[in-house]
Structure 1
Amino acid sequence: MTRILLTAFIFCLSFSLSAQYGNGRYTFVFLNTNPNKAEISQAAIDSLQTGHMNNINRLVKDKKMIAAGPFFTGGGVFLFDTNVEETKTILNSDPAIAADRYILEVFSTDPIPHNAVKKTLCTLWDKNEADVEMAMNYYFVRYKSNKENEDIAAVKTNRFTENLIRSVSHKSGQNTIIGALNLNENEGQLIFYQSNIEGGIEADFAAHELVKKGLMTYEHSQIYFPKGVFCEN
């Protein structure tokens, strides 16, 4: 299973975060565990999981999927170098998705340019699987727009998220924030960071100005990713 997971996480594309900002060319997918999924045998679950991982490996080799990673608590994320419509077609090829094991959220996305965030992702495509080291200290923060608030238009600016990135980097070190993405159509932002503190530094991200104002909510999770994909040491 470890070898399959390592292969699934390999990134197949290097790109400039700042150069691609504003194009909306990438697609980010949340795979949320379906609480109402059908009760099936363990053998059927194992078969679906094998097909799920094989499909991920195929999409990575086809250079359509940039990244895949699971949360510690279940579910996971996909990042594609395809537009939303192509991504939706691709997702139908996943047997676990076809079997309604996940509830999907699909977003067009751009990197958030900031001098505290690495400007490129580093490909691990040429690495031997045995040489890929899994990082256990990665965390993921999702900011979601509160669309019921009449001031929701204010969320469209990244200024508040950039201020938070600057604050966290100053407090915890320049290498803490390793990636940031903007979900287009005013759907919020995503931040990847690393921390050796058990449970991460969630309180720092809860201090986002728009969260305090009620314009956004946030989710904080630990996530598996291989070391080096964000060009970190």
Structure 2
Amino acid sequence: MLAMKRTVFLILLFVSVSLSAQTERGRYTFVFLNTDPDRAELPKNQVDSLQAGHIANINRLVKEQKMIAAGPYYTGGGIFIFDTNLEETQVVLDSDPAIAAGRFKLEVYPFDMQDGKICTLWHKNEADIAMTTYHFVRYETDFDHDGAPAAKTNRFTQTLIDNVKYKEKGVNVLGVLNFTENRGQVVIYASDKEEGNENLFSTHELVGKGVMKMTHKKLYFPEGIFCEN
């Protein structure tokens, strides 16, 4: 009887751990805010009002502990990271006045951390959160390519990241975010060099074969989100 109880306990424990893992998988949501080139021309005061509403909405979602962080690219547009699932994120995005006004084209993807981890800064006062410059790399699967299914395995990205980590001084890979449904990865890293890093990440095997496309940008982002402090 004791052995049977122990067996049942282990089965229940296994199920509990499995359900916990499933809950964690796809827990976070990543949003690309791509500047819409076809957005309507608006008077400056209206653009300023939408931007102020956009920032206020970001601050509200952070205080509600739904949004983890937001930051712009230096070239326009930016990203959001949410601690909500896909459906919950799509609902709260509608509350952003700039998004509602069609200023951005959105891409919204659930993701897991392939490398690194995320730390929230909700316990900090806004004045104590520093903004810094990171480098941002996006690997995007080209579904028109015959080799697109190969992108489902992340070993190509991980091999590249491992090489960068151990061979490149002054380059600190902070996080590799893996999108679900074969939608690619994002790499966030810090570097002592302002320029010249792009070549390190363009050596990705699937980029060389045309299976994935790479984008490299600078990102203005809250420091500490990737537990680097």
Q: TM-score, normalised by structure 1?
A: 0.84
How far apart are the structure 1 equivalents of 2:57 and 2:22?
27
Aligned equivalents of 1:189, 1:94: Cα separation in 2:
26
Partners of 1:73 and 1:142 in 2: CA distance: 15
Q: Who is 1:76 aligned against?
A: 78
Q: In structure 2, what is the equivalent of residue 3 of structure 1? A: none
The match for 2:213 is 217
- C-alpha separation between the residues in 2 aligned to 1:194 and 1:57? 25
Residue aligning to 1:96: 98
Task: Give the conservation status (yes or no) of the 8 Å contact 2:114–2:178.
Answer: yes
Question: Residue type of the partner of 2:214?
Answer: Y
Shift of 1:225: 1.3
What is the Cα deviation at residue 20 of structure 1? 8.0
Partner-residue secondary structure (3-state), 1:112: strand
Which residue does the alignment assign to 1:35?
A: 37
Tell whether the 8 Å contact from 1:71 to 1:221 is kept in structure 2 after alignment. yes
Is 1:28–1:109's contact at 8 Å kept on the other side of the alignment? yes
SS in 2 for 1:79: strand
Contact 1:175 1:232 in 2 (8 A): no
Give the distance between the partners of 2:22 and 2:162, measured in 1 at CA.
21
* Counterpart residue identity of residue 158, structure 1: N
Match in the other structure for 1:13: none
**1:139 and 1:200 in contact (8 A); partners too:** no
CA RMSD of aligned residues (A): 1.8
1:139, 1:194 within 8 Å by CA — same for their partners in 2?
yes
Shift of 1:175: 6.2
Q: What is the aligned residue count?
A: 209
Question: Does the aligned pair in 1 maintain the 2:71–2:222 contact within 8 Å?
Answer: no
Distance 1:130 1:142 in 2: 30
Match of 1:6 in 2: none
Q: Extract unaligned runs of 5+ from structure 1.
A: 1-18
2:17 alignment counterpart? none
Q: Which amino acid is 1:45 matched to?
A: V
Say which structure is richer in helix. Answer: 2
Partner Cα separation in structure 2 for residue 123 and residue 20 of structure 1: 21
Provide the rounded CA distance (Å) in 1 between the counterparts of 2:27 and 2:129.
Answer: 28
Structure 1 residue 199 displacement after superposition? 2.4
Percent identity between the two aligned chains: 55
2:198 match: 202
Q: Deviations over 1:18-48 (max 9, x none)?
A: x789711211110000101111111000100
Contact 2:69 2:222 (C-alpha < 8 Å) held by counterparts:
no
1:122 paired with 2:133, answer: no
